[in-house]
Amino acid sequence: MTLKFDEVVRAGIAKQVAENIKSAIMDGRLKIDERLPTEEDLARSFGISRPTVREALKRLAAQNLIHSRRGPLGGNFVKRPDPEGLSKAITAAATLLVGIGAFDIHEIITARLETETICCRLACENHGAADLERMAAEIEIQRDETISDEDFCASDVRFHRALVDSTCNGPLKLMMYTVIESFIPITNMIVFRVRERRKVAGFHRQIMEAVAKRDTETATKALADLLAYIRNSYATAMDARDRMKVAPQT
């Protein structure tokens, strides 16, 4: 194996430059849609080579902090923050933590219950016809016994995403992205063999119908019943796994 010391050094400097520019973006010294200095000017300002500047700019682009435009008026510009992009970064970290066992199922269920209860209340207050149509469409998919477990789980995620979207609350949607996109798939991976699809779809219908009637009490109860069912399904799945471990080998 050949080690290239110059590349290691350059990568370290590029990271520092990227962090410097990132700090300027985050504290407002660089404004949204503002054009960054040219590569040549940045290289001169930081006292580094243009290839190192390019590496720093690639890092910033990968973080969705800048984007490039071509043409006479082109260059690198500060990018308007993308809430979904930010959420995906958080979700990736949360999924990793769940995967390594940093959170147990009881913590996950409790977090979902507390946060989605708020969503149910706001959904009852703020939903529109399109939100109900999205939820109804997912329930129809879930009632189709011919779809795969993967498709059912994906529809489960989309249903709860539609519920959260119907709150019409941007900060809450940002916060809930992690809960929906990482916690639901993880629990589905564990319980899909023991939970009954029709029961899950039934709970979803109860939630949707209560939201449509702006009945917060019924909506939150249906959510609590759904999560209690998932918790019990998890316990059943774990019991089955433990029995397999102690079963005599033949």
Residue at which a domain ends, from 32, 51, 78: 78
The region, left, alpha or beta by phi > 0 then psi within -120 to 50, assigned to residue 82 is beta
Same domain, 45 and 24: yes
List C-alpha distances in Å: 146 to 152, 153, 194, 197.
Answer: 10, 13, 17, 11
Q: pLDDT tens digit string along 1-31? A: 343 434 434 558 888 889 998 888 877 888 8
Q: pLDDT tens digit string along 208-242? A: 999 999 999 999 999 999 999 999 998 888 777 77
Residue at which a domain ends, from 62, 78, 94: 78
Residue at which a domain ends, from 78, 93, 115: 78
Residue 35 lies in a domain: yes
* CATH code, domain with 134: 1.20.120.530
Residue 3 lies in a domain: no
Q: What does the pLDDT read at residue 1?
A: 35
Domain ranges, residue 108: 83-246
Same domain, 57 and 135: no
Out of 6-20, 94-108, 117-131, 191-205, give the one with best mean pLDDT.
117-131
Residue 2 lies in a domain: no
Burial 224-244 (b: 16+ CB within 10 A, else e): eebbebbbebbeebeeeeeee
